[in-house]
Chains A and B, each alone.
Chain A
C-alpha cells in the first residue's frame, strides 16, 4: 500500500529565515506530486505540482519554490520567509494517469508559523 510522509509536523520560524519542507511517497512510482497551502479556516491553495523528476509547475508567483530531486520526493523551499507564509502545508500524490476518477491522497501536513 502507498503512504505519504511529511516533515516536520510543526515549525516555528522567524521572518526572513529559510524554509525547507519535505514530502516523500512510498509504495508507488512516478506519481504526480502536489503542494498546497491552507490558511487558518480557509480552503486549499495549489502552490506547485510535478509530473516527473525536475518538472515543476508553479501556480502562484511568490517567494516559495519547489523541487523534485527524486521520483518520490517533493521539497518546498523559501530563501526568506514572510509573515504571510504562515499556514498549513499539505503534500499530496496521485497516480500518473489522465483518468478523471483518480483521486489525490494527502499527507499529514506541516503547520508553519512565521513570527
Chain B
C-alpha cells in the first residue's frame, strides 16, 4: 500500500529565509512519482513540483526544490527566499506505477511566513 506522511502540521518561517517541509513515503512500486501542491486560503490546489523515482537529480522549479533521498524514502520541499505569499497549506502526494490512476496525499503542512 502507498502512504504519505507529513509530520509537521504547522511551521513558521521569517520572510526571505529558506524553509524545508518534510515528506516521507512508503511504497513497494519500483517506479513512482512524487508531487507537491500548494493550497492558499482560497482553496485552489496549485501544482508546484514533481520528482520521479528514477530521476538522478533533484527537481527544481524557481524558488522550489525537492530534496529527494530515495533510500530514506523522503521527498522534502525546500522553499528559498520565502515570501508572504508562500503562506498556505502544502501537500505532498505520490502516484505509483501499478495503480497509476490514484494519487495518495499527505495530511499537509500549514506554512506561515512572518514579515
A42-B107, A44-B91, A100-B95 as given contacts; A88 in contact with B45, CB under 8 Å: no
Q: How far is the CA of A49 from the CA of B104 in the complex (A)?
A: 13
Q: Does A46 sit within 8 A of B, measured CB to CB?
A: yes
| Binary flags per residue of B91-110, CB closer than 8 Å to A gives 1, else 0 | 10001110011110111101
Q: How far is the CA of A51 from the CA of B107 in the complex (A)?
A: 25
Which A residues contact B (CB, under 8 angstroms)?
Answer: 32, 34, 41-44, 46, 49, 51, 57, 88, 90, 92, 98-106, 108-109, 111
Instruction: Say which residue of A46, A103, A108 sits within 8 Å of B47 (CB atoms).
Output: A103
Q: How far is the CB of B11 from chain A (nearest CB, A)?
A: 15
Residues of B within 8 A of A109 (CB): 43-44
A49, closest chain B residue (CB): B101
Q: How far is the CA of A92 from the CA of B44 in the complex (A)?
A: 11
Q: Does B50 sit within 8 A of A, measured CB to CB?
A: yes
Q: Does B25 sit within 8 A of A, measured CB to CB?
A: no
Residues of A within 8 A of B31 (CB): 100
Q: A43-B91, A108-B43 are in contact. List 19 more A-B contacts (CB 8 A).
A: A32-B101, A43-B105, A43-B106, A44-B91, A44-B105, A88-B43, A90-B43, A90-B45, A92-B45, A98-B100, A99-B100, A100-B52, A100-B96, A101-B50, A102-B95, A106-B37, A106-B44, A106-B45, A111-B43
Q: Does B64 sit within 8 A of A, measured CB to CB?
A: no
